[in-house]
Structure 1
Amino acid sequence: MPIINSIVSLLSSKRLKSIDDFRKRPFETQECILKRLIETAKSTEWGKMHDFASIGSIETFQQRTPIQDYNQVKPFIERIRSGEQNVLWPTEIRWFAKSSGTTEDKSKFIPVSNESLEEIHFQGGKDTLTVYTNNYPETGIYSGKGLTLGGSHQIDKLNDKAFTGDLSAILIENIPFWADLMRTPSQKVALIPDFEEKMRRIAEEAIPLNVTYFAGVPSWNLVLMKYILEHTGKKNLFEVWPNMELFIHGGVSFTPYREQYRKLLPSDYMNYMETYNASEGFFALQDDPSSSDMLLMLDYSIFYEFIPMDRFFDDNVTPLTIADVQTGVNYAIVITTNGGLWRYVIGDTVEFTSLYPHKIKITGRTKHYINTFGEEVIIDNAEQAVKAACNATGAIINEYTAAPIYMGNNGTGGHEWLFEFQKMPANMDAFIDTLDQKLISINSDYEAKRYKNITLQRPVVHALKQGVFYQWLKESGKLGGQNKVPRLFNARDYVEKLLTINEKL
């Protein structure tokens, strides 16, 4: 073990120096990234349309290239899916990450080039282990295997030479041989499309192995881990895998799941490391175990811009570069990548917690919020309020979502919260009051609308039956992979469907 760790440490030293360099020189690093991307793509159709050959500065790039969302870039992506090349990026693109949990409830197909696989996604995975090993030099993760729970892929309907699927499936399909040796289950099992069948096969393959860490979305890994305990009859996961020490998680906030994982893995020596990766790229990782914020990885092939959310719908807004962002401001992220995404709004919002180094926390989605009455409740507000309510009442939750209650004859509206509890609150009224008071304390807009119940009434909370969210995801064809429950939605689509399922169960 010490020999393996020493070799890893030696190989990682150069990379750690590079990470330290972009911490100190963030703008210069980003400027070089953009120049390289523009130079590489200047002969593509997109590059010629916007005369990339004559762009010599960030300002010119911003003036000449439009900000776009998926609907605007979709016609170009559809052409690539049909077989055209050199449209957005010069090298052949055969993989398309099928985005899940989209705010329009439709599929998005994000182009994934070979360069983006190597320089963004795989680099993010390598850096995660590099940073973890640096923080824990005596780690034993290399003595066993990492368990990864991925999605599936299929031949693209538009082009039999291209493939679509969850990003996790694309990564597994293209993973370097040395990394494949470190993971379980086998590729064949990992890519099984049926989630329930996949769980059974993973259990068969992984239980006899020395699994030292696992990675993926907290919600789906929780389902898998509970299944493994039921299958083995063990009380906790250390009885299955005694050397387990790390869970690398991302995709959704870990806060609602933390208590359940502590029960599955009851040890102070179990480590948790958050990463921020999406279909569009790998963006950040938790580099300090004592802090929950994440280091923005500025030297991947991603150029970042940031739009303050209070100006998000302003047509004349000029996004900020890394040189001009401030802490404590809610920003929408705009990215330019070597996957052919140019000034693309990914839909996530972040807040910088520090500068030099630039660290962030994810605050929500540009369209996942509740703002029916001007209350501006974002996911970060919701997570804080739910955590406070659980701490005050001893509750543990599996899943939750919330939506507005539209104004009735009495002229007031409200918020309706649906919870699936692992452990019910000791006092439901106390749970609701704490949830409400925490939102009031952290969101002045919510506080103003709650004043004397003039606009917003006290929240309405439902305790759903066990399995409602799972059944909803199953009926929606969203079991497994990177699919997730929307925490907040500014309409009642999800809430109404969930309440209907709850009545039937």
Structure 2
Amino acid sequence: MKRRAERIEHFKAHPIEVQHQVFHELIEAARYTDWGIKYRYDSIQNIKQYQERVPISTYEDFYPSIERVLRGEQNVLWPSDVEWFSKSSGTTNSRSKYLPITPESLEDCHYRGGKDVMTLYAQNRPNSLVFEGKGLSIGGSLHANPFHEEGGMVGDVSAVIMRNLPTWAEYLRTPPIEVALMDKWEEKLVKMADLCAQENVTSILGVPTWTIVLLDRIMEERGAKNMLEIWPNFEVFIHGAVAFQPYRELFMKKYFPSDKVTYMETYNASEGFFALQDDLAHPGEMLLMLDYGIFYEFVPVEEWDKPHPRALTLEEVELDKNYALIISTNSGLWRYQIGDTIKFTSKSPFRIKISGRTKHFINAFGEELIIENADSAITYACEQTGAVINDYTAGPVYMNDGTKGRHEWIIEFSRMPSNWEEFCALLDSRLRESNSDYDAKRYMDLALLTPLVHSVPSGTFYQWMGKRGKLGGQNKVPRLSNSREYLEGILEMIYETP
């Protein structure tokens, strides 16, 4: 850990040099792959040439090449043999995405990220006893490659990582791998609740939404008032995938009511491990990890819909501006649009926060509402009215026959607001404060009326995700949508005739 801490300090002090080194290593490694030959990697001398030759690509653009790898071809996108694929439903459409995981991406990105989590935690908490207990992680599941009989395995990236962990790592985690990788979520939940409650759990790594489901099950079965009655030595919840801000109070008051428990954010996905919270005094801000075999580019969101958007490198970015994240990686993804938007909160060192998704927003009326706006507003309304949420989603109510538009919210509370009208008003006012376009449409109710907000029973989102076949793993409730697809699905489920 001390050796690794020195290397982290090195890329913090020399970020541009480290990123340029990563860029040249990636280009050199892939020069004789099919992709590298197509774009003449052997003659690329600098980043400018790379950007001119290689287009920014979506998953759909990449899929023909990925399918070749799935069907057993090698040396297509990356020179090393690919035997593992992460399968992700994503949050931008319903089809599964298959992403190659190379030996280099597994070792130099995903595993290094996991080790660095604990390195940075230990730096912040030098007297930690976290290694005297077990780390709990909720894994996904693995299946044979459906495209090729001898083509390796596919599954959630968490499952791929767990299956490839060294034997000694199993002594540090819970539940046992045969339980962690079960594919039937309900059965897995029952076994996890029983086994993990008997362990000395000192840390959790997971998505807040599914962690809540597990903790509620354990507390119910054990009759506990909070999780510290079961795990008195618990120290840190390492979270990612969805914004933690709306859940913070729930964890601090219901599950771990102690100021000794730490919350640490990570930014990792099927495509790679990107950032870690290195300063625990600033929730939501994460250090961009620059030596994981990933070269980063950033497209200003105002240019995103242009035919050839301008992509910036690290030395060109500005603070507090929204950028779509573009990555080139040691898993063979080249100028790949991951679908997330980020903002830089610091340039010395380079720290970021996730602001939303390139396809997860509401812009039905020109309001350009992003997830960052929504999370901030709902957190503020909860704080002011004593409410605590489990989950939420929102979308538009379209103008029709002379009626004005509005936003519609579906919220599942674990504790209702003290005043419902005040909660709805605060939600609206905070959105207006944080988003000038929304405020302009709301002015005098000219284009948008006040939001229509529904409170739904506990367990609604869990039931809805189950109906969609998306329980457990890395599946996430879509926060915002520019269509009514998610809203209609939930409302239909709630109000359907028994």
Shift of 1:203: 2.2
Structure 1 unaligned residues grouped into runs of 5+: 1-11
Match of 1:72 in 2: 61
1:107 aligns with 2:96: yes
1:482 aligns with 2:474: yes
AA in 1 matched with 2:164: N
AA in 2 matched with 1:104: N
For the Cα contact (< 8 Å) 1:349–1:363, is it kept in 2? yes
Range with bigger deviation, 12-21 or 491-500: 12-21
2:280 to 275, 280, 289: 289
Match of 1:309 in 2: 301
AA in 2 matched with 1:156: N
1:235 to 219, 225, 245: 225
Match of 2:359 in 1: 367
Match of 1:333 in 2: 325
Shift of 1:441: 0.7
Match of 1:391 in 2: 383
Map 1:166-185 → 2, pairs under 5 A: 166-185=156-175
For the Cα contact (< 8 Å) 1:96–1:109, is it kept in 2? yes
Shift of 1:166: 0.7
TM-score, normalised with respect to structure 2: 0.98
Q: Deviations over 1:35-70 (max 9, x none)?
A: 001101111000100111111101111111111000
AA in 2 matched with 1:469: F
1:451 to 434, 443, 446: 443
Match of 2:454 in 1: 462
Q: Name the SS of the counterpart of 2:315 in structure 1.
A: coil
Map 1:60-139 → 2, pairs under 5 A: 60-139=49-128
For the Cα contact (< 8 Å) 1:101–1:486, is it kept in 2? no
Shift of 1:411: 4.2
Once residues 148 and 368 of structure 2 are traced to their aligned partners in structure 1, the CA distance between those partners, rounded to angstroms, is: 42
AA in 2 matched with 1:48: I
Q: Deviations over 1:164-217 (max 9, x none)?
A: 111111111111223222101111000001111111111232222211111110
Match of 2:241 in 1: 251
Q: Name the SS of the counterpart of 1:230 in structure 2.
A: helix
AA in 2 matched with 1:353: T
Match of 2:266 in 1: 275
AA in 1 matched with 2:149: D
Shift of 1:24: 1.5
Q: Deviations over 1:114-145 (max 9, x none)?
A: 11000000000000000101111110111011
* Percent of residue pairs identical: 50
Shift of 1:332: 0.3
TM-score, normalised with respect to structure 1: 0.97
Once residues 72 and 148 of structure 2 are traced to their aligned partners in structure 1, the CA distance between those partners, rounded to angstroms, is: 6
For the Cα contact (< 8 Å) 2:298–2:311, is it kept in 1? yes
Map 1:192-207 → 2, pairs under 5 A: 192-207=182-197
Once residues 159 and 445 of structure 1 are traced to their aligned partners in structure 2, the CA distance between those partners, rounded to angstroms, is: 49
Q: CA RMSD in A?
A: 1.0
Once residues 425 and 90 of structure 2 are traced to their aligned partners in structure 1, the CA distance between those partners, rounded to angstroms, is: 30
Which 4+ stretches in 1 moved above 6 angstroms?
A: none
For the Cα contact (< 8 Å) 2:91–2:476, is it kept in 1? no
Once residues 102 and 459 of structure 2 are traced to their aligned partners in structure 1, the CA distance between those partners, rounded to angstroms, is: 38
Q: Alignment length, in residue pairs? A: 494
Match of 2:17 in 1: 28
Structure 2 unaligned residues grouped into runs of 5+: none
Shift of 1:285: 0.4
1:53 aligns with 2:45: no
Once residues 401 and 420 of structure 2 are traced to their aligned partners in structure 1, the CA distance between those partners, rounded to angstroms, is: 27
1:210 to 200, 208, 216: 200
